[in-house]
Amino acid sequence: MKDFSREEIDYVLDTAEKLEPVARGEERSRLLDGKIIALLFFEPSTRTRLSFEAATQRLGGQVLNLGAVEASSVMKGENLADTIRVISNYADLIVLRHPLDGSARMAAEFASVPIINGGDGSLHHPTQTFLDLYTIRRESHLEGLKIAMAGDLKYGRTVHSLCHALSLYGAEITLVSPPELRMPQEIVRDLQKNKIKIRETDSLEKIIGDVEVLYMTRVQRERFPDPEEYEKVKNRLRVTGDLLKNADPSLKILHPLPRVNEISPEVDSTPYACYFEQAFYGVPTRMALLALATGVIE
Amino acid sequence: MKEKRDLKIQAIENGTVIDHIKAGEALNVLRILGISSAFRATISFVMNAPGAAGIKDVVKIEGKELSVEELNRIALISPKATINIIRDFEVVQKNNVVLPSYVEGVVRCINSNCISNSSEPIKSKFSVLQSEEEGVTLRCLYCEHVISENIAENLL
């Protein structure tokens, strides 16, 4: 995500906005007519894969799916570089999801067609960041945004790259997490170098009245050796109807999903809830990225 | 006494002398240059030799002039090293090592989940940065992990 300038991000988001009626099925498009998009998902990610499929088909393109890794040449010991070289001959663009860090960069070295990183390893998931930014722009605003990121800020890759991208727009960022799951200090330092205001807390109650966007993430049980600790943390970082009594009326709550219990179901029907719309925005955002990467939109 | 000294720092006729290596790093210098038992030239080295600026290591490679690109890799572990090219017992060229901006296939990424540590047909690639606060740091061009200390321990 760090490879993108603010101007480039804006251009992707502008394109997504133009394509949104197509994503909703209100208009038809043949932009990807005759194009084949290969989806190489080496680890399961139903949501990302389906939204790429929906994006391709809404634009009139065809999808080529790797299928189950267990039934593919990967199980015969083929390396990723060879797989990429072969699939490059079958498709006009490859979307890659792979468990190793840096796999998308390596794939780009071997591919003769564009690669879109659909999530590699534990570090990068740039199309998620684009859709988060698009959601924020559509439902709130990007410039000088007061945003709180809550939950697992240590391992959560979506919050790391989102923070970096928001720093290009001069955000004020509040980090809400238990001490065990604080944002890595090198990322905090990087953000501060970009003159971004950062504050850290462990309580949603203290800050809920003072933010325009609350970006929730899931706290995973396996991060805690002690189950009791997990239970305590889980309940402290929970969005409920009660908590939202003190919220700014314009507050929007985002979540990359799936959620477990960090947002209570009673919140779903409030005007604050934005996470299902956010999941939809994955489609126009990925349409924009597919159209720009294949060159059908310049 | 004179004889012993000559044995220790014997002059070479032709080749490369790497001087002012950070004390204790001579073996790592050989590693970073890819010099192994298969290397045919005569190598001699001195560790912890007294010098004007404290103790240092010196490596001499006889009969072979290494390329600037190879020699500059030494700056990753010993930025103050100097390179002397010797021809007919004379120093014909003397340079400081210059930190390269990019290194390939020299250092292993410390991130065990990095694609460069898998069986893919690629070499590790790093951009090299230097700052006053952190000294020399390497950033993996695949996974972006940063190596800021113990670079020598991660030599390939």
Ordered by start, the domain boundaries in chain A are 6-123+282-294, 127-278
B142 in A contact zone (CB under 8 Å): yes
A79 → closest Cβ in B111, B119, B143? B119
- Average pLDDT for B128-154: 88
The Cα–Cα gap between A251 and A265 comes to: 17
> Are B116 and A99 a contacting pair at CB < 8 A?
no
The Cα–Cα gap between A151 and A174 comes to: 12
Q: Which two tokens stand for residue A5?
A: 């300038």
If you search the block for the tokens 């809920």, which residue do you land on? A208
pLDDT of residue B142: 95
pLDDT of residue A115: 97
Q: Looking at the whole model, is its pTM more than 0.90?
A: no
* Catalytic status, residue A76: yes
Which residues 6+ apart lie within 8 Å of A133 measured at CB?
A: A9, A13, A142, A162, A165, A166
Catalytic choice (A35, A49, A58, A125): A125
To the nearest whole Å, the CA of B121 is away from the closest chain A CA by 7
**Structure ipTM over 0.90, yes or no:** no
pLDDT of residue A75: 66
A28-54: buried (b, 16+ CB within 10 Å) or exposed (e) per residue?
ebebbeebbbbbbbbeeeeebbebbbb
pLDDT of residue A70: 65
What is the CATH number assigned to the segment(s) A127-278?
3.40.50.1370
To the nearest whole Å, the CA of B144 is away from the closest chain A CA by 8
> Are B113 and A100 a contacting pair at CB < 8 A?
yes
**Residue A159 phi, psi (nearest 5):** -70, -30
**For residue B7, is pLDDT > 50?**
no
pLDDT of residue A187: 86
Q: Which residue of B has its CA nearest to A101?
A: B114
* Catalytic status, residue A259: no
What is the CATH number assigned to the segment(s) A6-123+282-294?
3.40.50.1370
**Residue ranges for chain A with pLDDT beneath 50:** none
pLDDT of residue B120: 96
pLDDT of residue A231: 81
Domains of chain B: 2-96 (3.30.70.140), 102-154 (2.30.30.20)
pLDDT digits (tens, 9 = 90+) for B52-83: 888 999 999 998 888 888 889 999 999 899 99
pLDDT of residue A268: 97
The Cα–Cα gap between A263 and A255 comes to: 9
To the nearest whole Å, the CA of A220 is away from the closest chain B CA by 20
Catalytic choice (A47, A146, A154, A223): A47
